[in-house]
Structure formats: structure tokens, C-alpha cells
Amino acid sequence: MIIYARNYTPEARDIYASLLSAMQANGIKPKVCGSLYDNFITDGLATANDMLPLEPVLTSSSARAMLSVGGDGTFLESAKKALMTDIPILGVNKGRLGFLSDLQSSQIPWAVGELIRGSYRVANLDVLSVYAGDQREPLDYALNEFSVSKCDNSSMLTIHAYIDGDYLTTYWADGLIVATATGSTAYSLSVGGPIAFPSTPSFIITPIAPHNLSIRPIVVPNNVAIKLVVEGRGPKILTSMDGRTHLMENNMQFRIGKSPFSVRRIELEGHSFFATLRDKLMWGADRRNYKTE
């Protein structure tokens, strides 16, 4: 198994200790990413005999599972590292919201046991491939969303959108988001997009501060090719893929579609998307929904 995190944080020491203890109790020598490996030794959590350094490039045979310790941002980094492998990812939450990383620290010993027994489901989540201009190789990949926006205080962008070559509309807006169903609860949601079940075969196109108030988000099948032609008065535009930003020349064309591979997310018994909605978004937080004695 792999333990992955952005960096070592002392406040998460108990989480790391619980993970290492549960794995050692089950005879597992985990692979630990470089930012944690040395800190575990320095902090007395493990010795070099208890773990292995994580190799720079992962393959499907590298590990049975990856445990991503952090928030949803860390899960997205883990997904990027595990792209094009069959390694499933379990998110251990030490962040705030935690749609993708919803395992609580108190559940770690149980979760490690479930992983060893194979008592879990794997959800295959869509990944976006984004091409810029006439590029044949993707600019980047995204599990949550691709967005394009103005990068300064200049006037709004003009974005011409096409679906499978068919003209959709022209957006006059600060930007535009193309989200997967997984990303429906991320940036797209914050600007008024709908929520989709993560395995729904769909993409969501959501404008950012559109000038035309009749423009609304639209849900399209995940097997279409989306083309965006971006125009603006400023010299640069800003693109973002799961928070990884690229500053690009104005008057750029993008092609967005479903990648031939997916991100495999581990779902343990008792963990559901609907429960996460109720917990994280406070759905049903109304006295009328609670029984009183």
C-alpha cells in the first residue's frame, strides 16, 4: 500500500501513526512518498525497516491501493500521480470539506482491514483530456474540472462553444467551467452548477458570471467532444485543471473530451455520496428532519 500526502504536518501525526500502526499490525510494509518518508523517521513514527520510499513513476504493480492523506486537493494530486495505472485511491480526510477524502481518522484501523480483505467497491471516475490549439498531446488532465477565465481586470471573455462540431452558444462571461460528474461538487457548484452523482456519464458546462442572465449551466453526455474558442481584450487568459494553472495566449482554442482511462476511487461499506452531501453540505439541516423523544 502507498501512503501519500502533500507534506508532513505535525498536527496530523496521530493520523500517520494510526496508518503505520494498522499496516504494521497486518504485516504490511507501506511505500511512503518522499515528503513523508524522512519525517516519519525523524519524528520516530517508523524506521527504514518499516517502510519503503515511493518510486517516482508508478505502475499498476506498484501497490494494491493508495491512501491519500489530506483534503480533496491532496486527493486530486494523488489521482494525477496514479493516472494510467489501476491503483485505486482511498482518501483519508484531514482537510475541511472532503467530498473525495471522506474517511475519518477514527476509521483508519477498520479501513486498512477492509482493504486487506478486499471488502470495498471501486468507482471508476471520468477524467478530462484537454488539448490546446492543434496539439496532439493533451495539455493536461483533470478529474474535477477544466476552467478558462480572464487573468486580470480586463473586460469579460467571449467564449464560443461547440458540441461535436455543433454550435452551442457564445458565452460573454468572466470564464467557463467544464466539469466531470465528480467535479460537480467543486468549482462548478460554487458558481451555480448542478450536482451530479459521481458515476453519472456526463459533463457539466457552467459559465462564470455570465453577462446574459438567460444563460444557464448545461449537462451533456460524457462521450461528446467540446470545443471552446476563447477571445478577449487582454493579452493572456488563465486556464486551470484541478487547480493546476497555465497562463496562455489570448484567442486560444481548446478541445475537451473524456480520457481513455479513469481514476479508481475506493468506496468502503457505509460510505455513500448521499451521506456525504448531507454531512458536508448540511442537506436536511432542519429541525423538522430530526426525531425527538
With contact defined as beta carbons under 8 Å apart, do 3 and 17 qualify? no
Measure the CA–CA gap between 206 and 179, rounded to whole angstroms.
Answer: 8
d(CA 245, CA 23): 36
Q: How far is the C-alpha of 149 from the C-alpha of 224, rounded, in Å? A: 22
38, 43, 50, 72: which is the annotated catalytic residue?
Answer: 72
Contact predicate 75/96, CB 8 Å:
no
Cβ(154)–Cβ(234) under 8 Å?
yes
- Residue 72 annotated among the catalytic residues of the structure: yes
Q: Which residues pair with 243 in a beta bridge?
A: none
Alpha helices by DSSP H, the chain: 13-25, 34-42, 72-82, 108-117, 187-190, 273-280
Rounded CA separation 254/19 (Å): 42
Question: Which residues are known catalytic residues?
Answer: 72
